[in-house]
Amino acid sequence: MTKRNSPLQAETICAQGGGAHDASAGVSPAIQLSTTYRRGADNALIVADNFYARYGGPNLRDAENAIAQLEGASDALLFSSGMAAALALFRRLAPGSHVVCSSRGYFSVIAWLREQDARGALQVDFFDPRAPDTMAPLLRQGETSIVWIETPVNPIYEVVDIALMARAAHDAGALLAVDSTAASPILTRPIEHGADIVFHSATKYLNGHSDVLAGVLATADETTQVWADVREERKVGGATLGAFEAWLLLRGMRTLHLRVAHASRAALDLAQRLERHAAVARVTYPGLPSHAQHAVAKRQMTGGFGGMMSFEVKGGEVGALGVVARLKLVKVATSLGGVETLIEHRRSIEGPQSDVPPGLLRLSVGCEHADDIWADLDGALSSGL
């Protein structure tokens, strides 16, 4: 595998992720399913890094190395789910530590942080990503441990200025962690904008085929105590990704650049068409000039604006649910970032505490032809007029 400081372009890192299998001369990496590894006559490990699967293994390291290269990171650690990865960063904090978090984003992370705040395990202040100036006043000089943001912000896809957040967090002595799931490292590399930690639900774009549950954290500096704590949390807690899942993840990543580029082109096309549709009240897509943070998106997203958007259907929840009921090609399902186009009425999933508009639908554009996706969307929308 190419070293992490390699000057290779993202497309090359993806296409050759994991390298070849030298033992067999195969052009793709092999799967090593062993959970434990042999020691020699001197009782030393025959391969220094191969000890026990909970600590990692060849397939895990291949995938982690590829992700670290893509992010321009010092190191990366894979976990058995997105939630396992995200919570590993918070679980090692001292009781009562102060955290600042965006009030919108990955719903399960925000719900967990609200619970920790309510029970006194952590002190958590939330800010509205639509009003970024409200974040800095929440910081406590020398006391805030982590600022957690997401951009673009699920499920409405506002865009947060990473560099602005990084400056504010660092001035207060805090780390900035960025959930970059919706952008992927093909479009945004948060470390280049000042982030300390990058998070991905690797289930989504990194894998891209809706068949692997995984999460990853990548760090700008692997020598920090925070990163040592994250590594220890995975080792002791046991939320390590399995070898086969790591191999599947890496296999999916070999086409990441192609999938993201296609989805970005198709999503922009569809967003423009939706914006003109009589049944649609509003479209939120970072690539549209009408997006409130379009200028920020242009500054920190390169090569496209991603495959994620939301749009509000006239007629509120009844209208939105009517649209999803009439769809035939587009799949109605939770999750995002796969090769298939998915749609979801997010408010129904989040429940009564959700602040998502009742008529909003979240659309994850896949790898189908944009005209075919549009024919399905237009038919479902127009039938309700």
Convert 109-139 into a string of H (helix), E (strand) and C (coil).
Answer: HHHHHHHHHHCCCCEEEEECCCCHHHCHHHC
Q: Give the type of residue at 86.
A: A
In this predicted model, what pLDDT tens digit does every residue of 338-366 receive, in sequence order? 999 999 999 998 888 788 999 999 999 99
Evaluate whether residue 5 is within a structural domain: no
Let me know whether 143 and 127 are in one domain.
yes
Q: What is the mean pLDDT of residues 228-232?
A: 97
Let me know whether 113 and 233 are in one domain.
yes
* Sheet with strand 342-344: strands edge to edge: 280-284, 308-313, 360-364, 342-344, 331-332
Q: How far is CA 142 from the centre of its chain?
A: 28
Q: What is the mean pLDDT of residues 12-29?
A: 82
3 state DSSP class of 162: helix
Let me know whether 218 and 313 are in one domain.
no
Let me know whether 193 and 101 are in one domain.
yes
- pLDDT in the model for residue 17: 82
Choose among 30, 56, 59: nearest CA to 45. Answer: 56
Q: What is the mean pLDDT of residues 223-236?
A: 96
Neighbours of 118 (CB within 10 A): 10
Give the domain range for residue 264: 257-382
Cβ burial of 72 (10 Å; 0-12, 13-18, 19+) is: middle
Q: Which two tokens stand for residue 70?
A: 């893509």
Has residue 384 got a pLDDT over 80?
A: no
Evaluate whether residue 4 is within a structural domain: no
- pLDDT in the model for residue 351: 83
The winner for highest mean pLDDT among 8-22, 23-37, 357-371 is 357-371
Let me know whether 191 and 300 are in one domain.
no
Residue 330's CATH number: 3.90.1150.10
Q: What is the mean pLDDT of residues 176-191?
A: 98
Q: How far is CA 3 from CA 18, 64, 328, in A?
A: 11, 11, 45
Let me know whether 156 and 302 are in one domain.
no
Can you point out the beta strands (E) in the chain? 75-79, 98-102, 123-127, 144-150, 175-179, 197-200, 215-219, 280-284, 308-313, 331-332, 342-344, 360-364
Has residue 25 got a pLDDT over 90?
A: no
Choose among 168, 165, 175, 151: nearest CA to 97. Answer: 175
Q: What is the mean pLDDT of residues 130-143?
A: 96
- Percent pLDDT > 90 in the chain is 89
Last residue of a domain, one of 212, 229, 253: 253
Q: What is the mean pLDDT of residues 167-187?
A: 98
Q: Which two tokens stand for residue 38?
A: 């042999």
Last residue of a domain, one of 225, 253, 281: 253
Has residue 1 got a pLDDT over 60?
A: no
Let me know whether 154 and 176 are in one domain.
yes
Choose among 324, 202, 301, 304: nearest CA to 263. Answer: 304
Choose among 88, 37, 60, 53: nearest CA to 237. Answer: 88
Active site residues: 54, 106, 179, 204
**Number of domains, the chain:** 2
Prediction pTM value:
0.95
Cβ burial of 339 (10 Å; 0-12, 13-18, 19+) is: middle
